[in-house]
Structure 1
Amino acid sequence: MLGCMTPIQALRRGASRRVELVPMNPIEQLRAGRLPHRVAQLLVGLVLFGISMALLLHADLGLEPWGVLQYGLIQHIPMSYGLMSIVVSFVVLLLWIPLRQWPGLGTVLNAVVIGLAIDATLAVVPAIEGLGWRIAVMLLAIVGNGVAGAMYIGSQLGPGPRDGLMTGLARRTGRSIRLVRTSLEVTVVVLGFALGGILGVGTVLYALLIGPVVQFFLPVLTVRVQPPATATDGEGAASAQEPAQPSTASAKGSTAGTPA
């Protein structure tokens, strides 16, 4: 049947899947089965995430919220954009300590691989000339970022540093994910813009589009795993169809957007 479907039909069918995003600790994530598949998907997603962030920078029409901060920081600290992404990721991970959160394999790789992919892409992709091409690249970068976010979230190997900070703060404060995410992103955008970060139409479009893109692709890309014994009753397991989970991804990163 799948061989007779058009790509659009196959994508729509995939988007209707219901696959659980299972809450697991770092050890449970590694024991949940299909590890080679999940690690491969995680790495592809992280590389694509870094490529899309670099393209958004090249489009020069505004960066995602954490990108605004990172670009602002490199105006004052002699460091590449990708390396600054890595530094910011590990600083954010330090904030996990008082939240009593443990990073998974995906969390650590997220902090490193995205930054390396950003710098590698910036080194080989030339400057983009012409407003039409810049708009096209900006839109491609936002969609690519959403697909990449769905890939690494769907691997079920741990949240990105920024996503984990957001969900940890929401849990500890009792506030909603939406409120915590908005507060964090407004804070980093204001601080980044004050430091010289690139704020523009791309920043606004990213905020509007990244959640729906991740939400659409997450059911397609979430890998079905064997839940730990404590999660087999389904309590607390978030469905890949539910809108709240994709919002966490943006986020990276999210937060999303950002390297989550």
Structure 2
Amino acid sequence: MATAPPRTRRTARELADLGPLAQLRAGRLPRRLVQLLVGLVLYGVSLGLMVRGALGLAPWDVLHSGIIRHVPITLGQAVIAMSFVVLLLWIPLREKPGIGTLLNAVLVGLSADATLALLDEADPMVARVALMVAGVVLNGLATALYIGAQFGRGPRDGLMTGLARRTGWSLRLVRTGLEVTVVVAGLLLGGVLGAGTILYALAIGPLSQLMLPACIVDLPGVADPG
């Protein structure tokens, strides 16, 4: 009778599903922390670029931009506040936040506000289009960096995966339903919708999928379960 093949290490092209303590014990901690922080800061920068392009925002940011029309807070503060509201929705879904989840909830908003403070709104249309496109592309890279660091999902991504797991619906269906819901809510509050919203919806999935393999950090302390 043939013996089972030995357990092998995960390759650099695989993502592990780890709890907070396992994330810290998985190895390559300095590299992963730096990549996580860079990814989250760039995510906030990408949000700021799209705001200054003034041609539409990502679906969740349509909601954030609507909220600040009625509450005296900055856009970044709205991002942070909504992150923690979404994390409350994790509780009935039994999702477990990781280190990256909590840092995501804070750093993206802080980075977005810093970017908006440093960057003026563009006037020529060509500059606005450039900011919009740069924001979408940078968001794809930032997403790949923070996911590839293997420190857990962001609040909104975790809501999506938790709902998909609980309902049995596909991730694509759940994501579409969530994004339509937040866009409609944002529009009702006076949020910003435009060509950038459509470009983001169409491009962010393929962009992050294209960039993710090169950004996944191999975890030497985690073996394949097979």
Structure-2-length-normalised TM-score: 0.93
Q: Does 1:162 align with 2:164?
A: no
The 8 Å contact of residues 41 and 152 in structure 1, kept in 2 or not, is answered as yes
Query: 1:19 is aligned with what amino acid?
Result: R
Q: Does 1:68 align with 2:59?
A: no
- Paired with 1:29 and 1:170, the residues of 2 have a C-alpha distance of 23
Task: Show structure 2 runs of 5+ residues with no match.
Answer: 1-10
- Paired with 1:18 and 1:109, the residues of 2 have a C-alpha distance of 23
- Paired with 2:220 and 2:167, the residues of 1 have a C-alpha distance of 31
* Cα root mean square deviation, aligned: 1.2
The 8 Å contact of residues 25 and 221 in structure 2, kept in 1 or not, is answered as no
Q: Does 1:122 align with 2:116?
A: yes
**What whole-Å deviation, never above 9, does each CA across 1:174-221 have from its counterpart, x for those lacking one?**
111011000000000001011101001000000011111101110111
Q: Does 1:233 align with 2:222?
A: no
- Paired with 2:127 and 2:58, the residues of 1 have a C-alpha distance of 19
**What whole-Å deviation, never above 9, does each CA across 1:114-139 have from its counterpart, x for those lacking one?**
00000111111112111111001100
- Paired with 1:176 and 1:126, the residues of 2 have a C-alpha distance of 40
The 8 Å contact of residues 47 and 135 in structure 2, kept in 1 or not, is answered as yes
Corresponding pairs, count? 216
Shift of 1:29: 1.2
**What whole-Å deviation, never above 9, does each CA across 1:7-28 have from its counterpart, x for those lacking one?**
xxxxxxxxxx961101112211
The 8 Å contact of residues 12 and 217 in structure 2, kept in 1 or not, is answered as no
Higher relative contact order (CA 8 A, sep 6+): 2
- Paired with 1:208 and 1:182, the residues of 2 have a C-alpha distance of 11
Q: Does 1:83 align with 2:77?
A: yes
Runs ≥4 in structure 1, deviation > 2 angstroms? 226-229
2:212 is matched with which residue? 218
1:171 is matched with which residue? 165
- Paired with 2:162 and 2:131, the residues of 1 have a C-alpha distance of 33
2:38 is matched with which residue? 44
2:179 is matched with which residue? 185
- Paired with 1:158 and 1:227, the residues of 2 have a C-alpha distance of 16
SS of the residue corresponding to residue 21 of structure 1 reads coil
**What whole-Å deviation, never above 9, does each CA across 1:20-54 have from its counterpart, x for those lacking one?**
10111221111110011001000000000000101
Structure-1-length-normalised TM-score: 0.81
Identity %: 58
SS of the residue corresponding to residue 217 of structure 2 reads coil
2:8 is matched with which residue? none
1:9 is matched with which residue? none
Shift of 1:99: 0.8
The 8 Å contact of residues 56 and 195 in structure 2, kept in 1 or not, is answered as yes
User: Larger C-alpha radius of gyration, 1 or 2?
Assistant: 2
| Mean Cα deviation higher: 22-31 or 85-94 | 22-31
Quick one: which of 144, 152, 156 aligns to 1:150?
144
The 8 Å contact of residues 24 and 228 in structure 1, kept in 2 or not, is answered as no
The 8 Å contact of residues 65 and 192 in structure 2, kept in 1 or not, is answered as yes
1:26 is matched with which residue? 20
- Paired with 1:105 and 1:233, the residues of 2 have a C-alpha distance of 23
Q: Does 1:58 align with 2:52?
A: yes
2:4 is matched with which residue? none
